[in-house]
Amino acid sequence: MLAIAVLVAIVLFAPLIFWLAWNVLDFAHAVGLPELGFWGIVLATAFLVVGWLGKVLITGIVFLVNPDWFANGRALVHWPEPTFRNFVAVALLALLASRPHAHAHARKRSYRRDG
């Protein structure tokens, strides 16, 4: 039951954290990208928290649904200014991108007989 509550909390709070960093703290404009709507935030959040195969799947879905998004040439991405607001935004995005479950794999012990 606790695991389900944690999963629901992650599903609800992760997009909220991304929205806070991207739109409210204005990190999108700090790096030269547009603000995102609801589904953009959901996909970007999922992109940060899933593994490699999930990233490929999300990229493929975005490319199939709206291929102009990759080639519209409107975004001029640049490094953000070193402000506290941008630091907080990057820290929040890094929090989402860090996957503690990636390090939770059980370590296998090698049962070797000595002698």
pLDDT tens digits, one per residue of 30-67: 988 888 889 888 888 888 888 889 889 988 888 888 77
φ, ψ dihedrals at 53, nearest 5°: -65, -40
Q: How far is CA 73 from CA 60, 68, 69, 76, 110, in A?
A: 19, 9, 9, 8, 53
Taking the whole predicted model, whether its pTM rises above 0.85 is answered as no
Of 1, 6, 17, the closest CA to residue 98 belongs to 17
User: Domain-by-domain residue ranges, the chain?
Assistant: 2-99
73 has pLDDT over 80: no
